[in-house]
Amino acid sequence: MAARTTPDCRYALRNTELAIHHRNGETERQLLLSATEVQAVLASVFRLQLPQPALLAMELDKLLLRLSAAEQPATSQSPN
């Protein structure tokens, strides 16, 4: 989770969803689908200096896989 406020809007990152809350009440939402996208948003929008980009990308990929698996509906199997 990350958040940053500017005079014009508030940025919020929760898991893989980036929300941009504008002063006029409108909200833009963007789903980040890769570790590269998450790193780019953390660096550009949140102005974070990210250590060891290759290692971070591997860890973010693992996290994204876990999040994706958690969002999948459980399949039920009928008894044979």
Where would I find the beta strands (DSSP E) of 9-75? Answer: 9-14, 17-22, 27-31
* Span 23-62, pLDDT tens digits: 999 999 999 988 889 999 999 999 999 888 788 888 888 8
Residue 32 lies in a domain: yes
pLDDT value, residue 80: 54
Residue 57 belongs to some domain of the structure: yes
Q: Is residue 77 situated within a structural domain?
A: no
Number of domains in the chain: 1
CATH number at residue 18: 3.30.2140.10
What is the reported pLDDT for 62? 86
Q: What percent of the chain has pLDDT over 90?
A: 50
Instruction: Give the pLDDT confidence score for residue 59 in this predicted structure.
Output: 84
Is residue 39 domain-resident? yes
80 domain-assigned: no
Domain residue limits at 11 = 2-70
The CA angle 28-68-35, to the nearest 5 degrees, is: 65
